[in-house]
Structure 1
Amino acid sequence: MSDVHIHRTHDLGLDRAREISRQWVADAARKYDMVCSVDSGEAGDTVEFKRTGVSGQLVVSGDHFELTARLGFLLSGFQRAIQAEIEKNLDGLLAREAGDRRA
């Protein structure tokens, strides 16, 4: 098995970070057939996601995102490509948010 670990800091605050995580969840569900659940708390949210061969969580706080995923045997050979795709998607959402805030 292989693990994916991604950490991104931000200065968006919790409300905007939650909105971005909702976009990420919607994209993951639509594009990759992920089943996602969100556990909301006062200090942040934990998004649990899974599908055949992948399970993990995205921790959302007011100043960072922390994603961990465990890849099953069949997907472990694609760990670098999967991590790169997740990073691209999350970084794209953050970049779009930064652009929206400047406008």
Structure 2
Amino acid sequence: MSQIRIERSHSLGRENARAKAVALADKLTRDYGVECRWEGDTLEFSRSGVDGRIEVGDDTVRVDATLGFFFSAMSSQIEREIEKKLDKALQA
């Protein structure tokens, strides 16, 4: 298993950052069949071989993901893709 942890600062405020996380979750659901649910300001997501969470704060967003055996072989590529999508989503 592989762990991915990415943290980004933002100046959007909690509500706007949360709205961006909602849009990102909708895209993950459509594109990858990821199941998502909110617990306060934390979006928990999962699908076969991947579990994680996106924590939205006033000025930071943190993504933590655990990749199962199959996806561990592609962890660098998956991490880069998450960074790319997160950076794009957090643009003001």
TM-score scaled by length of structure 1: 0.86
- The structure 1 segments of at least 4 consecutive aligned residues displaced by more than 2 Å after TM superposition are none
Q: What's 1:67 paired with?
A: 63
* Larger RCO of the pair (alpha carbons < 8 Å, separation 6+): 2
Give me the whole-angstrom Cα distance separating, in 1, the residues matched to 2:17 and 2:65.
Answer: 19
What's 1:101 paired with?
none
Give the RMSD, CA atoms, in angstroms.
0.7
1:76 aligns with 2:76: no
Tell me the residue number matched to 1:23: 23
> 1:21-44: CA deviations, max 9, x gaps?
10111111111110000012xxxx
CA–CA distance in structure 1, aligned partners of residues 15 and 65 of structure 2: 24
**In 2, Cα distance between equivalents of 1:83 and 1:4:** 7
Can you give the 5+ residue segments of structure 2 that lack an aligned partner in the other structure?
none
Q: Gapped runs of 5+ residues in structure 1?
A: 99-103
Q: Whose radius of gyration is greater, 1 or 2?
A: 1
Q: Which has the higher helix share?
A: 1
Find the residue that maps to 2:12 and give its secondary structure: coil
User: What residue is the counterpart of 1:86 in the other structure?
Assistant: 82
TM-score under structure 2 length normalisation: 0.96
How many percent of aligned residue pairs carry the same amino acid? 39
Task: Give the count of matched residue pairs.
Answer: 92
